[in-house]
Amino acid sequence: MKKIVYALFLFVSSCALWGADKIVFIACGEASALFSGGVNGAKAAAKLMGGKHSAEIEIKYLSLKADQAALAGALSKAYVEGAKGAVVFTNEPLSGAELSKTAQDLSAKGFPLCVAGAELEGAKIFSHVGTDSKKALSMLNSALNSMGNTGKLPLFCVGKAGEKADVLREPEVNAFEKSRTVLKKVETVFYSAYAAENSVEIGRMDAHGLVLLNASLLADMLPLPKDPDRRFALCLGGAPYVAFYLDNASIDICMMDDYYGFGYCLVRDICDFVYGAVVPASQRTLLSPLLFRKSDAKAFSKLWKDWM
Helix crossing, 170-178 with 133-145: angle to 10°?
Answer: 30
215: nearest Cα among 25, 32, 26: 32
User: For domain 148-251, is the CATH number 3.30.230?
Assistant: no
Q: Kindly report, residue by residue over 174-192, the tens digit of the pLDDT.
A: 999 998 899 999 999 999 9
Average pLDDT, the chain: 89
- Does 58 score more than 90 pLDDT? yes
Side chain identity, residue 248: N
The mean pLDDT of 257-261, rounded to a whole number, is: 95
Assign 120 a pLDDT band (cuts: 50, 70, 90). confident
For the chain, the structural domain boundaries read 2-132+258-289, 148-251
| Burial status of residue 180 (CB atoms within 10 A of its CB: 0-12, 13-18, 19 or more) | middle
Q: What is the pTM of this model?
A: 0.88
Fold equal for 2-132+258-289 and 148-251? yes
How many percent of the chain have pLDDT more than 90? 70
Q: Looking at domain 2-132+258-289, which CATH architecture does it have?
A: 3-Layer(aba) Sandwich (3.40)
Greater confidence (9 vs 229) lies with 229
3-state helix vs strand vs coil in the chain, percent to 5 = 45, 25, 30
Distance CA 177, CA 193 (A): 24
Distance CA 269, CA 279 (A): 7
